[in-house]
Amino acid sequence: MNINMTNSLYHDISCNPNPKGVFVLSHGMAEHIGRYQWLISKLNDDGYHVIARDHKGHGKNIEYGELPGFFAKKNGWIKVRDDLYDLVDDVKKEYSTIPCFLLAHSMGSWIALSLLNNKLDIDRIILSGSSKVPFLLIYIQLLIIKIEIFRNGPESQSTLIDKMTIRKFNNFFAPNRTPNDWISSDIESVDNYTNDPLCGFIVTNSLWNDVCQCMLKIFKKNYYSSSNFNIPILIISGKNDAANAGSKYAQKLYIFLNKIFKSVQLIILNDTRHEVFTDIQKDISYKHLKEFITK
């Protein structure tokens, strides 16, 4: 990938002189855009430009000296949300004559949804590994996070929260081969993630607090601007996604968004875990993606 090292932007321009469209990617927690090489290559081969940025406290930003898994001392989620909004806005201005798609994964999908309280100039949105977590769980997690912040500070890492979330997800696939079996059924993908120093780290208490505060907002109907109700949305999830309670939370998200937006589609993939575009059946996931953006 061609990387602009000064601002953690990734520009992958297809060889096609007349691109069909442009994709903006929003990655998940404790990973980076480099994890999407297979998907980006497929999109480039099919004539789509891809532009993305590592979120604060992730990817290239860590190599530049930022604290891993930390957004900001104040208003972290707003700053990450605004980064993505500005990127989408800039891309749409630069490529105003072709369709623009936003593909967002896991935590990145919540960042994407948080953009929709104001008018967003985007043609279609794809949410992978996304979910609507029950409010009770969010409040319980938030209470524990507040205690952890009081005890150890916002920039510290909580092994307790990690055990309640990531380690819990991995327990669904015991006996475990790695700490990250839950992300994909593709052994090579899991090993690449496990051996990547920019993946799988424990994020800060502050980031967990930002995520919970965001979910409390985006899971309320009145958060969304009516100017975005016509944007088609695809939710694509693995049937064996432990972070999604076996796709149950993806179904809850579909029911929730379907009451707000005019066109919402849900696809549940059998024998697929959290990362639908790195799993063994990633070609099927990509086929569904292509069908969604071309119909």
Pairwise CA distance, residues 264 & 269, whole Å: 17
Residue 264 has pLDDT above 70, yes or no: yes
pTM: 0.95
Q: What is the pLDDT of residue 136?
A: 97
Burial 246-260 (b: 16+ CB within 10 A, else e): bbebbbbbbebbeeb
Residue 165 has pLDDT above 50, yes or no: yes
Cα of first residue to Cα of last residue in the chain, in angstroms, is 29
pLDDT band for position 2 (cuts 50, 70, 90):
very low
pLDDT digits (tens, 9 = 90+) for 215-249: 999 999 999 999 999 999 999 999 999 999 999 99
Mean pLDDT within 45-68: 95
Are the C-beta atoms of residues 78 and 117 closer than 8 Å to each other? no
Which residue segments constitute the domains of the chain, with CATH numbers given? Answer: 2-294 (3.40.50.1820)
Q: What DSSP designation does 161 have?
A: H
Q: What is the pLDDT of residue 10?
A: 86
Tokens of 132: 């609507």
pLDDT digits (tens, 9 = 90+) for 102-139: 999 999 999 999 999 999 999 999 999 999 999 999 99
